[in-house]
A and B are shown apart, each in its own frame.
Chain A
Amino acid sequence: MTREQAATLIGERFGMAQVDGTSPLVVTLPVDQWVSFARFAKDTLGCRFFAFSTAVDWKEQGLEVVVRVENLDTQIALLMKTRLGAGISSCPSLAPVYRGANWMERECYDMFGIRFDGHPDLRRILLADDWEGHPLLKSYAVDTPHPPYR
């Protein structure tokens, strides 16, 4: 399967998706197609390698979740993006589809406060369990004091 074939297939199956670029194929999706597209990518397109999952804080426009998966045999890389909308911080979880999403989504929750529905074990991973605030949001200052340590 080539990239062009993959792009046409995506366009057929997921009409509302927006496909740009060649490598990686950047697919911008609405949130409700998130998990079904991930399953499609894994089963049909053969993208079984889960590279990473992260989020971006676009201030007034809200949060965006970005996932990259790859087909190691045919070198098709998909960058899946979805905008959660202003003020919304919940997103369906890809952990049932890709096991690598488990820790990556825990990190997104830790850093951005995005609650992933369907995640088996959503708790903070990098910061302590009783930490207040989600640091990578643009509203969080980088040098927030934390007495007595800083």
Chain B
Amino acid sequence: MNDRSTAGPSPHGPTAGLGLKAQHYEQALACPAAGLWFEVHPENYMVDGGPRLAWLEAVRRDKPLSLHGVGLSLAADQPPDPDHLGRLKALADRYEPFVMSEHLAWSARGDVYHPDLLPFPRTRRLLDQVCDNVSAAQDALGRRLLIENPSLYLDLRGHEMSEPEFLSAMVARTGCGLLLDINNVFVSASNLKQSAVAYLDALPADAIGEIHLAGHAPDDRWGEDLLIDTHGAPVSAAVWSLYERTMARIGPRPTLIERDENLPDFDVLMAERGIADAILRQIPEARRA
């Protein structure tokens, strides 16, 4: 199993990247920014041929690539779909991503796929199942996975451990890494009335291989009482501040600006990516070991 996922995408250390959108292919291809990398959902590239694969191949020739899956359903009470793992492996072998990630959530059960990242009770029994699923996926892919913390909207009963405890146990048992989505931490903490800082401090820092930053929005009816992880707005000031604090504590990590809704111009996203890049560069050399 290779361990490239904790290394930065550029020889100059961890840098900031962007989610690659079809609308921005040409600008992405032409962009000369140093250290720029791109992330895509592999599910959008599981096709036989055509322009999507051709574009991805062209982008990959110049820039490092991250594959961020949404479909393995690792927190389901069933093993990951071997056909889907096969399709993922084929893409990984073709495009050689510097990192691959998935979510701590479920979306598939039986023959039904819910296009969402659904919550679950963090029980010891489910921890066993999730660890089996993560190990099975890593074995099939021949690569280490980073697992992303979810945005939570419901205070489910029946949890036997906190999310950081669950993630730490999963890291220890499977050797996987973590993709820390700081916006998700903020949204969940706000919705469940918990402390984002306490959550961040409880994570195993060494396992964190990538950071996600995105925007959120208050619910139409419930306002600030219910925040939604929309990926439809710029990163909020509160999330930037948690990001700076986290980078100062654990050292720099490859950082992605995610934007899926209300897509602005490529230049606007590049400017936002520039903020993350500047924060990463400010971290003293001593922390860049």
User: Are the chains A and B members of one assembly?
Assistant: no
Residues of A within 8 A of B (CB): none
